Amino acid sequence: KSMPPHCCLLALTLLAVVSGTFYCDSANRLNILAGPAVQLVTRNLSAHSYRPGSHCEFRVRSLPGSLLFVRLDDSDGGLDVGASLSLASGSRQLLNASPLLPAHATSLVTPGGQLSLRLSVSASALAKPGLTVLVRSFLHCPPGWVELSNACYGTTADGELPARLSFANAQLACNSMRSNLLTLAYGVQAGAGIKNARQRLAGWSRGLGVSKAWIGLTDATDWGRFAYYWLDKGRFGEHSEIGCSSGSSAYRDCRASERCGLMSWSSSSSSRPLLMSACSAARPFVCAMPIGGTDRFDRVPTGALPNATSFSGEATPTVMWLWIAVLSACLVVGLLTAAICLAVRYCAGVKPPNAQTRQLYQLRAAQPRLQPPPPPPYTPEANNQSAALPPLHQLPPPPYTPGNFTSASADV
């Protein structure tokens, strides 16, 4: 049974809208339904560059129930001074570049099923070829990403992310894709070791040819070196799994500049699963997100990690300082309570005198004080009794008695 003519026309129109290349002067550029591959070129079809003073706009919708993946290509010369490019999805601004594209924003994922692209060129701007923007619809994971354990993983090896970036810019690139640098929060149960996560991703990393890549681990916080945290503020305490990209297998031998984490899939027996490296080094990186993306974007700390949570039951510096503050407050309250109790007891023991006691004090104060009797007058006889006695040679001898004589003779 043949298809009605109007159905055939509708199918051909839908096919033309779902895939193809659209220019600034395309008739249906404001109502594009993105399918497997849609290209937006920021110039007219017959021109080799955009015109000074021109404006160009595209509006793209995704297939039902899907999101949009957007990749910007400025290899033809990009934008010149005086040209600005903005991308938005609904009310959310995704990118505003003038004139250079940030290195971390060449690939994006929309939070909804709409995309609005606007190019504005000032009258004084030089003519440039402009940009080519690739737009695709996807359901679960962005094109080129791998789905494992209800999570999506993407890396620079799949060609949909910048090749090499610093640690901070790698996190921004992941955020542009509505994801974060890989942490244990994705696809691994809480409390699982880093070895388990590494083993789960080993086959995927070998297939993509990735041996070392940035993940969301750092100790570049106010808590100091060797206090390792995931960017989602979870503490990582398996220090024996950490080595140094400079060569040492002991984390305490890492250089002072090695403060950001790499996951290593090296087959060397001496290699640790995690390596600390200089955060400014440009390296491959691994992004991870739940299916459909996330709206929670971790930040790279420049100081303390606020509201840090414990990982595997370990106490974090935040908890430790909280306990110190609580104990200090209890000590102060205890000392103040003891001082108040002592003051109350002292005041209770020293009672104010009543009326009877005050009267007794007054009577005692009115009575004359008893004076001691004066000493007797001085006389030689009173002070020297020996002066009235006769000399020893003038004393009469004692009377004679036989007993006295006998004892005297015996003594002789």
Tokens of 32: 């594009």
Q: Which candidate, 218, 192, 197, places its Cα nearest to that of 308? A: 218
Distance CA 34, CA 139 (A): 12
Neighbours of 228 (CB within 10 A): 24
SS3 207: helix
| DSSP sequence for 22-84 | E-TT-TTTTSEE--S-EEEESS-TT-SSPPTT-EEEEEEEPPTT-EEEEEEEEEEEE--TTEE
CATH 1.10.1660.10 for the 13-139 domain, yes or no: no
Q: What is the pTM of this model?
A: 0.65
Q: Residue 247 contacts by C-beta under 8 Å, 6 or more apart in sequence?
A: none
Dihedral pair phi/psi, residue 388, rounded to 5°: -85, -10
Mean pLDDT of 229-256: 79
The yes-or-no verdict on residue 410 having pLDDT over 50 is no
Considering only CA atoms, give the Rg of the chain: 48
Which neighbouring-strand residues pair with 41?
132
Given this chain, do its domains 13-139 and 141-322 carry the same CATH topology?
no
H/E run at residue 354: none
Q: Which residues contact 126 (CB under 8 A, 6 or more apart)?
A: 52, 80, 81, 82
- Amino acid at residue number 349: G
- Please report, rounded to a whole number, the percentage of residues in the chain having pLDDT higher than 70: 70
Least confident of 131-135, 252-256, 402-406: 402-406
What pLDDT score does 8 carry?
44
The Cβ of residue 135 has, within 10 Å, a number of other Cβ atoms equal to 23
Q: What percent of the chain has pLDDT over 90?
A: 10
pLDDT at 116 over 90: yes
| The token pair that represents 89 in the structure block | 């999805």
All structural domains of the chain with their residue ranges: 13-139, 141-322
Q: Where are the alpha helices (DSSP H) in 72-177?
A: 167-176
Which residues, 6 or more positions from 257, have their beta carbon under 8 angstroms from its beta carbon?
A: 278, 279, 280
pLDDT digits (tens, 9 = 90+) for 270-280: 567 888 999 99
Of 256-260, 348-352, 363-367, the range with the highest mean pLDDT is 256-260
Q: For residue 309, how far is the Cα from the chain centroid?
A: 9
- The CATH number for 141-322, chosen from 3.30.1180.20, 2.60.40.10, 3.10.100.10, 3.40.50.1000, is 3.10.100.10
The predicted model gives 241-264 an average pLDDT of 82
Q: How many CB atoms lie within 10 A of CB 243?
A: 23
